[in-house]
């Protein structure tokens, strides 16, 4: 992408309405624009990050055996009357009437609708297990939408729903998604800690939130420090492998949110020097709720014995639009965002310090073309303006590697590489630059676990 032709509306001043750093930086870096309370336009740079996250999520969902579909945002109130949640959900649900005075709602989640899809088509135990997911906008009329896309009213969610014949196999599906989540957040550069959590309006009694630690997190969390260093389980090739031992290993160390913590149990389970009590951001949440929806909605299958059984269900959410903000909370400094490679809007930026100078233009153009040729997602700052503004922009938007091209270096055939996260700089020959940057990027894409 040539910056001169891109749409990147950067702000010089920090907008006053933004209380936390990720919200400030997303506005300043031209990633989002507020449209109303808890409602945002995703500008091109923000959308690029959002798309990188959803791509990682899709890859890991597909690997775990889940199958993607797409359900509408508007739902019929009648479906929710069947489950009993239409009245129970309360004010967070946005209720709408169409021209025929029919009651609709903007979906805050999709348990009812997926159960309706399931009951229409699936009649036999032979079609189980089944896990269906989509990535779709949701609306929740939050009491306090705040912190930008961290807690918005309209937000993106990946929601998956599992269907199994019995509790044992449903819990296996839960374990499978648990491991898929560990891998998903790791690939985004994050350390996400699974913690026992409250189930709220979704229901059931088995539930984990995936939490990233950050001072601006909305809830207090308690866990054993060793969870933070646990290695991520490798990809199993058979998606029906039993992942219970991995689940048990991870959950044997104490970790709970403030709603679930039992102070005495926490202190008994975790030695004093291993106790982590910190603020956390919930980036994912998984639930097992048995037949809560299948029973009232008639989602049953014929078992091997010819008997009808209500299917056992779970649901599994990730918030990609919240994650964009969460990742920035984890990766920033005083100059701006410092993205991990795997989720960066661009992997490298070529900064031409002297646009109009024939040598600089030729070298920068060639580097940019070579990056694209090598499959690197590169940005080219070809704007005719001063070096200071270009450095500041590159630091603000957080591209992991900057390749700085100017007449001074080119005199001896060199360019400079700046590593955004560490600040480290290297001077090397123009011929070596693309290969060197590629060798830094590829392992950090984390796409070959």
State the residues that interact with ligand P5A by CB under 6 A. 109, 140, 142, 151-152, 155, 157, 159, 202, 282-285, 287, 315-319, 321-322
- Within a 10 A sphere around the Cβ of 311, how many other Cβ atoms? 27
As measured in angstroms, the least distance from the Cβ of 422 to ligand P5A is 29
- CB contact set of 50 (below 8 Å; sequence gap of 6+): 42, 156, 320, 321, 324
Q: Which is nearer to ligand P5A, 157 or 364 (CB)?
A: 157
Q: Residue 319 or 340: which CB sits closer to ligand P5A?
A: 319
Residue whose Cβ sits closest to ligand P5A: 319
Closest CA to 66 of 160, 159, 157, 137: 160
Q: Which is nearer to ligand P5A, 247 or 287 (CB)?
A: 287
> Minimal distance in Å, beta carbon 108 to ligand P5A?
7
Burial classification of residue 446, based on how many CB atoms lie within 10 Å of its CB (0-12 exposed, 13-18 middle, 19 or more buried)? middle
Give least dist CB 448 to ligand P5A, A.
Answer: 26
Residue pair 396/334 in contact by the 8 Å Cβ criterion: no
**Of residues 300 and 321, the one with the C-beta less far from ligand P5A:** 321
What minimum distance in Å lies between the beta carbon of 27 and ligand P5A? Answer: 17
Tell me how far the alpha carbon of residue 128 is from its chain's centroid: 28
> In the chain, count of helices (H) and strands (E)?
14, 23
User: Which residue, 258 or 365, is less far from ligand P5A as judged by CB?
Assistant: 258
State the nearest-atom distance from the C-beta of 84 to ligand P5A, in Å: 16
Nearer to ligand P5A, 159 or 172 (CB): 159
Nearest approach, Cβ of 142 to ligand P5A (angstroms)?
5
Using alpha carbons, list the distances in angstroms from residue 231 to 46, 227, 273, 312: 30, 9, 21, 31
Residues in CB range of 432: below 8 A, 6 or more apart: none
Cis amide linkage into residue 119, ω under 30° from 0: no
DSSP state of 73: S
């Amino acid at each position: 992408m040539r910056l001169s032709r891109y749409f990147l509306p950067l702000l010089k001043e920090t907008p006053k309405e933004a209380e936390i750093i990720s919200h400030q930086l997303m506005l300043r870096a031209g990633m989002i624009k507020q449209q109303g309370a808890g409602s945002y336009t995703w500008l091109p740079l923000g959308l690029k990050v959002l798309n990188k996250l959803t791509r990682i999520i899709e890859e890991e969902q597909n690997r775990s055996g889940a199958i993607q579909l797409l359900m509408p945002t508007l739902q019929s109130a009648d479906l929710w009357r069947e489950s009993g949640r239409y009245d129970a959900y309360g004010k967070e649900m946005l209720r709408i009437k169409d021209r025929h005075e029919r009651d609709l709602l903007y979906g805050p989640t999709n348990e009812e609708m997926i159960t309706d899809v399931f009951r229409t088509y699936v009649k036999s135990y032979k079609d189980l297990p089944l896990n269906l997911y989509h990535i779709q906008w949701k609306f929740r009329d939050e009491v306090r939408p705040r912190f930008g896309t961290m807690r918005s009213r309209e937000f993106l969610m990946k929601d998956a729903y599992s269907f199994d014949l019995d509790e044992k196999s449903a819990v296996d599906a839960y374990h499978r998604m648990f491991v898929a989540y560990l891998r998903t957040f790791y690939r985004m550069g994050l350390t996400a800690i699974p913690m026992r959590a409250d189930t709220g309006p979704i229901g059931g009694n088995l539930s984990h939130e995936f939490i990233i630690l950050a001072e601006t997190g909305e809830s207090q969390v308690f866990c054993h420090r060793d969870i933070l260093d646990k290695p991520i389980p490798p990809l199993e090739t058979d998606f029906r492998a039993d992942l219970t031992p991995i689940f048990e290993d991870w959950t044997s160390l104490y970790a709970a949110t403030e709603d679930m913590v039992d102070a005495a149990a926490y202190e008994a389970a975790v030695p004093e020097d291993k106790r982590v009590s910190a603020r956390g951001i919930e980036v994912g949440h998984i639930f097992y709720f048995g037949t809560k929806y299948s029973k009232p909605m008639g989602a049953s299958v014929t078992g091997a014995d010819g008997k009808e059984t209500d299917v056992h269900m779970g649901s599994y959410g990730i918030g990609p639009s919240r994650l964009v903000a969460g990742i920035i909370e984890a990766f920033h400094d005083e100059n701006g965002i410092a993205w991990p490679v795997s989720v960066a809007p661009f992997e490298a930026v070529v900064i031409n310090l002297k646009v109009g100078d024939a040598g600089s233009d030729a070298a920068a153009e060639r580097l940019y073309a070579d990056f694209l040729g090598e499959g690197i997602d590169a940005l080219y700052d070809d704007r005719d303006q001063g070096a200071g503004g270009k450095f500041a922009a590159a630091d603000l938007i957080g591209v992991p590697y900057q390749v700085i091209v100017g007449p001074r270096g080119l005199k001896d055939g060199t360019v400079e590489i700046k590593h955004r996260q560490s600040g480290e700089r290297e001077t090397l020959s123009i011929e070596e630059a693309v290969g060197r940057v590629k060798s830094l990027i590829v392992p950090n894409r984390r796409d070959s676990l």
